[in-house]
Amino acid sequence: MSIEQEHLKKEIIKYGSLLIEKGLVTGTGGNISVRLSKNLMMITPSGMAYNQLTPDDLVILDMEGNTVEGSRRPSIEVNMHRAILKARPDINAVIHTHSVYATAIAVTRQDFPPVIDTMAIVFEGAVKTAAYARIGTKELAVNVVEALGKRPAALLANHGAVGVGKSLSEAFDICELLEASAKTYIYANMIGKPIILAEDVIKEGQEDMAARYGQKSGSQYGVKE
């Protein structure tokens, strides 16, 4: 095992624990994967608690789903992770959550409209909801890739959400921002009708943020004020 793989295994375990700590999953829900190379990926095992994982529990597979290293059964959502990584050479990490507020929107099978400026800029507009398919199926994988497109997040109908990034930290930031935005949107619906930001406003905001916000070495997606 290379030093890089050893580091990534520790990172996956760390972010798995953070998913629980931040309330983005419960129990053994959700899953995490990272790209190791053009043809290899690493993913969390099926049905194991994050706080009990060891590096040896993580599974390395090729992009066709064949196990290369590890004795555990990979996450049931391995098809979805493989499909996303294959479709998105610009990203290296995928995190699937069952966070309460994002999932609440997902069960309505509606897209999540851009109602918060930071959300609109980072998610490049609305967050799409993938058409429903059963857990772990290739059909679900296809639907999620379509809903995700080139954006960093998508909802899964009646299921949860997914966030992607160049790194695990970036993907995790996306999942946190999605959940916080979903919470605000749901609360806003309780007191009135949220105003959806227009496409030209979103585009202007993206251009302005790209020119003026943060440091040049900062995260592509991690907009933090």
Which residues are the active-site residues? 77
51 close to 35: Cβ distance less than 8 angstroms:
no
| Cα 149 from Cα 175, distance rounded (Å) | 16
| Token pair 């970036």 in the structure block, residue | 170
81 close to 31: Cβ distance less than 8 angstroms:
yes
Helices 138-148 and 78-87, interaxial angle, to 10°?
Answer: 40
Edge to edge, what strands does the sheet with 31-35 contain? Answer: 67-69, 59-62, 40-43, 31-35, 93-97, 160-165, 153-156, 129-130
| Cα 165 from Cα 37, distance rounded (Å) | 15
| Cα 88 from Cα 183, distance rounded (Å) | 28
C-alpha dihedral sign at 120, 125, 131, 135 = negative
